[in-house]
Amino acid sequence: MKADMEELYRSMARIRFCEEALANLWQRGIISGEMHLGVGEEAVAAGVVAHLEDGDALALDHRSTPPLVARGVDLVPLFLEMIGDERGLCRGWGGHMHLFSREHLACSSGIVGSSAPLGAGFALAAQYLAPGKVAVSFFGEGAANQGMLLESLNLAVAWRLPQVFVCKDNRWAITTRSRSVTGGDLLRRARSFGMPACRVDGTRVEAVWEAAGKAVRRARAGRSPSFLLASCPRREGHFLGDPLLRVYREPLKQTLEIGPPLVRSLLSRPLQAFALRPLYMGIIGKTLTVLGIEKFLLEPDPLCRAARLVPDDVRRRIDQEAREEVERAVSAAMERGKRHA
């Protein structure tokens, strides 16, 4: 069976336009707190969720909007939740990081790595109560060193749980290069527990769809859990307004803001440590340089890649329909919010 690129692209477009709408609401001050978007993760969410059926479960991290949108969660209560309305998905208490949909057996948490044991719980319940159903856990590579995630990998194999672990690898754990705090290779680590593991280009939805299909079918058959390592960009950094990305998007303003403090720290007392300070400045400069090259030169846009696999007229129609759907949902959420206020 071949991937239905039209439906996969539709799912990705809906996700992207929802994320852009959330960014707009946040920038206008309508959504408070931090905002962690999954822009760049659309292919991973769409390619994996396309294989799920009614009764399958989703355990998500703090970037939960893309899989929830792909799963078919109603957009209006989703937006209402983001603005803190009591008619939102979680009565306004969850925000964007702690979302739950009983209908879709989907939940998310801001606790790093918690999606693995949550998914193991879903999978264990499916094993006893709903054979043939599966659970999928999404998390970033920065969470792969958490103890509860490693324990979940172990139990998933020991108990042959119908679980798929999906690791979204953008090479950054907030502002730290992941490889600088990770020993060994994540694929070899997962295989050492006795489960199949594969690397996939997370910017190519057709590749994700194929790899996820094999993993989900294996879980449904009760053969073993699987581990997918999907490389994918995070185009907005760790959160909206990421300070590292602001250096590139507002170079003059950021130079004036952070330049003087950096110079003062370079020249501050005690002078005994002066010899090390240029080294630290070099590390900061290298981090910014690597980030800029990756974000603005090397990282492909998964939505653009998927668009090339769909006829132009179909792509334009899907874009228009998806934009209009998101705009209607935002308008309905804002109107309901005003009436309630």
Helix (H) or strand (E) holding 136: strand 135-140
C-alpha to C-alpha distance for 303 and 41, rounded to whole angstroms: 9
Q: Do 105 and 193 reside in the same domain of the chain?
A: yes
Say if residues 50 and 5 touch (Cβ distance below 8 Å).
no
CATH number, domain containing residue 111: 3.40.50.970
What pLDDT is attached to residue 340?
58
Per-residue tokens: 229 = 């390592």
Domain count, the chain: 2
User: Would you say residue 89 has pLDDT above 60?
Assistant: yes
Q: How far apart, in whole angstroms, are the C-alpha atoms of residue 60 and residue 138?
A: 5
Alpha-carbon distance of 249 to 243, in angstroms, equals 10
**Confidence band of 256 (pLDDT split at 50, 70, 90):** confident
Q: Do 114 and 250 sit in the same domain of this protein?
A: no
Query: How many Å from the N-terminal Cα to the C-terminal Cα in the chain?
Result: 50
Contact 42, 303 (CB under 8 A): yes
When pLDDT is averaged across residues 156-178 and rounded to a whole number, the result is 93
Q: Are 99 and 89 in contact (CB under 8 A)?
A: yes
Tokens representing 26? 């946040």
pLDDT at 247: 73
The CA-based angle 103-154-96, given to 5 degrees, is: 35
**What is the rounded CA–CA span in Å between residue 211 and residue 171?**
20
| φ, ψ dihedrals at 172, nearest 5° | -130, 130
Same domain, 306 and 290: no
DSSP reduced 3-state for 30: coil
Residue 341 has pLDDT above 60, yes or no: no
Cβ distance 185 to 123 under 8 Å? no
Q: Are 73 and 84 in contact (CB under 8 A)?
A: no
Same-domain status, 175 and 287: no
Q: How confident is the model at residue 271 (pLDDT cuts 50, 70, 90)?
A: low
Instruction: Tell me: do 22 and 149 sit in the same domain.
Output: yes
161 in the same domain as 264: no
Give how far Cα 273 sits from Cα of 3, 20, 333, Å. Answer: 59, 45, 55
- Residues 134 and 69 reside in one and the same domain: yes
For residues 238 and 216, what is the distance between their CA atoms, to the nearest angstrom? 29
198 and 271 co-located in one domain: no
Length of the chain: 341
On whether both 144 and 215 belong to a single domain, the answer is yes
Using one digit for the tens of pLDDT, what is the confidence trace for 14-48?
A: 999 999 999 999 999 999 888 999 999 999 999 99
Q: 295 with 245: CB under 8 angstroms?
A: yes
Q: Say yes or no: 103 and 128 in one domain.
A: yes
**pLDDT score recorded for residue 234:** 85
Question: Which residues fall within 8 angstroms of residue 130, CB to CB, at 6 or more apart?
Answer: 55
| pLDDT, tens digit (0-9, with 9 covering 90-100), for 65-74 | 999 999 999 9
Angstrom distances, CA of residue 12 to CA of 5, 67, 70, 117, 254: 10, 10, 8, 27, 33
Residues 17 and 162 in one domain: yes
Mean pLDDT (the chain) is 91
Q: Quote the CA–CA distance of 105 and 232 in Å, as a whole number.
A: 25
Range of the domain at 290: 243-298
Which of these three, 265, 281, 298, is where a domain ends? 298
Q: Which of helix, strand or coil describes residue 106?
A: strand
DSSP character string of 163-212: EEEEEEE-SEETTEEGGGG--S-HHHHHHHTT--EEEEETT-HHHHHHHH
pTM of the model: 0.90
Helices (H), 74-137: 75-82, 115-129
124 shares its domain with 271? no
Distances (CA, A) of 103 to 55, 67, 68, 75, 183: 9, 14, 11, 14, 39
